[in-house]
């Protein structure tokens, strides 16, 4: 498994006003986050990060395009979701690391670097719909039949319980 060091941007040593970093996010990238929240199991994403050096901060404009693979909430098979999203982030130097909010990060000035792997991942997570279900008729047929033998109302209820699929799994074990 590759490490995430290629996602380090050495802000402190950036001299030019704008610098662009390009990444291709594939299986090795997603493997790092497989156990984190967000359900993304894989994908292929072209990411570009444009770093603008401002007077007292850096503005990072992130563009992500491609697809991610997630589990269908209904049949638990994998499905691909198209992604085309943009996001921005302000990074400032300070005494210690502080994830102020979605849009502002303070990083220790003496280190002067940011690893943006996590932010790229988070952007992807935020851009996938809360509920992801195959288009009608495209779910795993076998699972679809099993589901029909159970009361489906908790699965059909939109957004009430994001992890309703675990209840489904529990039922299958019995
Ligand atoms: Zn499905």
pLDDT digits (tens, 9 = 90+) for 49-86: 999 999 999 999 999 999 999 999 999 999 999 999 99
Task: Determine contact, residues 147/164, Cβ cutoff 8 Å.
Answer: no
- For 54-64, write each residue's pLDDT tens digit: 999 999 999 99
Could you give the CA distance from residue 171 to residue 6 in angstroms, rounded to a whole number?
Answer: 43
Cβ 2 vs Cβ 25: under 8 Å: no
Distance 128 CA to ligand 1 centre (A): 16
Extended strands (E) in the chain: 8-9, 18-25, 42-53, 58-71, 78-94, 98-101, 104-108, 114-115
C-alpha 42 – ligand 1 centre gap (Å): 17
**Ligand 1 center–CA 12 separation, angstroms:** 46
Distance 120 CA to ligand 1 centre (A): 26
**How far, in Å, from the CA of 132 to the mean position of ligand 1?**
8
pTM for this predicted structure: 0.79
Spacing, Cα 118 to ligand 1 middle (Å): 28
């Amino acid at each position: 498994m590759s490490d995430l060091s290629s996602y380090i941007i050495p802000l402190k040593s950036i001299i030019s006003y704008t610098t662009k970093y390009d990444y291709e996010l594939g299986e090795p990238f997603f493997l790092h986050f497989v156990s984190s929240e967000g359900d993304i199991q894989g994908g292929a994403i072209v990411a570009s990060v444009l770093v603008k050096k401002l007077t007292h901060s850096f503005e990072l404009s992130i563009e992500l395009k491609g697809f991610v693979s997630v589990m269908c909430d209904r049949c638990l098979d994998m499905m691909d979701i198209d992604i085309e999203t943009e996001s921005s982030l302000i990074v400032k130097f300070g005494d210690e690391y502080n994830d102020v909010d979605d849009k502002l990060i303070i990083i220790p000035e003496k280190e002067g670097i940011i690893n943006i792997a996590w932010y790229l991942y988070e952007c992807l997570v935020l851009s996938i719909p809360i509920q992801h279900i195959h288009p009608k008729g495209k779910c795993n047929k076998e699972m679809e039949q099993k589901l029909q033998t159970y009361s489906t109302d908790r699965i059909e209820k939109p957004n009430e319980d994001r992890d309703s699929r675990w209840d489904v799994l529990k039922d299958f074990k019995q």
